């Protein structure tokens, strides 16, 4: 009976997101950004600031860019150069392309972005009532798995949104793929994709899945899952928060207003 009295005492703890804004989601330091009009880094400084090579400098403009798909959120750059880098809050970090994970954004035609949005919308139209999710670990360190598991607890409770995890890829609408894309998992991931009904949305969850992270240049990985599957949605973070993963799932289900959709 202890759980019963505890439930009465604590009341409803489930977030109202996405129907209403959530303070925790808005305040969560989910990414790193480059300040507007930031001073240029010294030559060779980027390599010293970032262990994964996420920071680059465009030549000859000397514009500093940060690839969130490679950033492991160690925040070494923020501590060393707060005049250039700053923590970005909010968990709407998922993107429908790999290129938009680079900030400041690299110029891209509006027509190309609209084409990506329309293509995804057409494929996800049938997912708006329910969404079956299959998780595939392609060489994860386990951190993303904790955040994915949290989606079913009373705080996030994705079942209220018509989303549920399935044990079989044959029943799945979405594949949540974590890990750096190890060579040993290449064939199992391919078999999972072959077994999944079409259309299917593939979501790369976490920095390791986006780029390989710390293991990007390892002989044992493919540097993320982009070389193993056609990824539709990229979720940076090491690990991304449950809100960031939920944002990606809502994007896959076509349940986000246009203004909440990243490129």
pTM for the complete prediction? 0.90
Query: Residue 86: enclosing H or E segment and its boundaries?
Result: strand 85-89
Report d(CA 53, CA 62) in Å as an integer: 16
Helix (H, G, I), strand (E, B) or coil at 19: coil
pLDDT for position 253: 87
pLDDT for position 32: 96
pLDDT for position 126: 67
Residue where the block lists tokens 């599957």: 229
Residue 113 CB neighbours (<10 A) = 16
Report d(CA 93, CA 147) in Å as an integer: 15
- CATH match of 110-260 with 2.60.40.10: no
Report d(CA 16, CA 167) in Å as an integer: 27
Surface-to-core class of residue 166, CB atoms within 10 Å of its CB (0-12 exposed, 13-18 middle, 19+ buried): middle
pLDDT averaged per 10 residues in sequence order, the chain, 263 residues: 70 88 91 93 90 90 92 95 95 90 74 66 71 95 96 94 94 96 95 92 97 91 94 95 95 72 52
Q: At what angle do helices 143-150 and 242-252 cross, to 10 degrees?
A: 70
Q: Find residue 177's DSSP bridge partners.
A: 136, 204
Q: What own/partner pairs with CB < 8 Å and gap ≥ 24 does 77-82 have?
A: 77/32, 77/49, 77/50, 78/32, 80/49, 81/41, 81/45, 81/49
CB 97 within 8 A of CB 234: yes
Q: Which residue, among 68, 98, 95, has the nearest Cα to 262 in the 3D structure? A: 95
pLDDT for position 157: 95
pLDDT for position 44: 86
Report d(CA 181, CA 197) in Å as an integer: 22
């Amino acid at each position: 009976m202890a759980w019963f009295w505890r439930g009465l005492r604590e009341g409803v703890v489930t977030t109202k997101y996405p129907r209403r804004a959530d303070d925790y989601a808005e305040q969560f330091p989910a990414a790193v950004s480059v300040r507007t009009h930031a001073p240029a880094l010294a030559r060779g400084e980027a390599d010293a600031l970032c262990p994964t090579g996420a920071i680059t400098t465009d030549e000859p403009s000397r514009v500093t860019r940060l690839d969130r798909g490679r950033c492991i959120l160690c925040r070494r750059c923020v501590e060393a150069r707060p005049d250039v880098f700053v923590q970005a809050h909010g968990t709407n970090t998922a993107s429908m392309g790999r290129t938009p994970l680079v900030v400041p954004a690299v110029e891209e035609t509006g027509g190309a972005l609209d084409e990506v949005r329309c293509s995804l919308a057409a494929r996800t139209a049938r997912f708006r009532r329910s969404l079956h999710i299959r998780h595939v670990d392609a060489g994860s360190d386990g951190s993303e798995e904790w955040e994915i598991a949290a989606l079913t607890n009373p705080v996030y409770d994705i079942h209220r949104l018509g989303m549920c995890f399935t044990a079989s890829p044959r029943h799945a609408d979405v594949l949540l793929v974590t890990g750096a894309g190890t060579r040993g998992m290449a064939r199992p991931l391919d078999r999972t994709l072959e077994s999944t009904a079409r259309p299917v949305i593939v979501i790369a969850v976490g920095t390791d899945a986006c780029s390989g992270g710390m293991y990007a240049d390892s002989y044992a990985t493919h540097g993320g899952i982009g070389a193993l599957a056609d990824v539709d949605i990229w979720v940076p973070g090491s690990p991304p928060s449950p809100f960031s993963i939920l944002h990606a799932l809502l994007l896959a289900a076509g349940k986000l207003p246009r203004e909440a959709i990243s490129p």
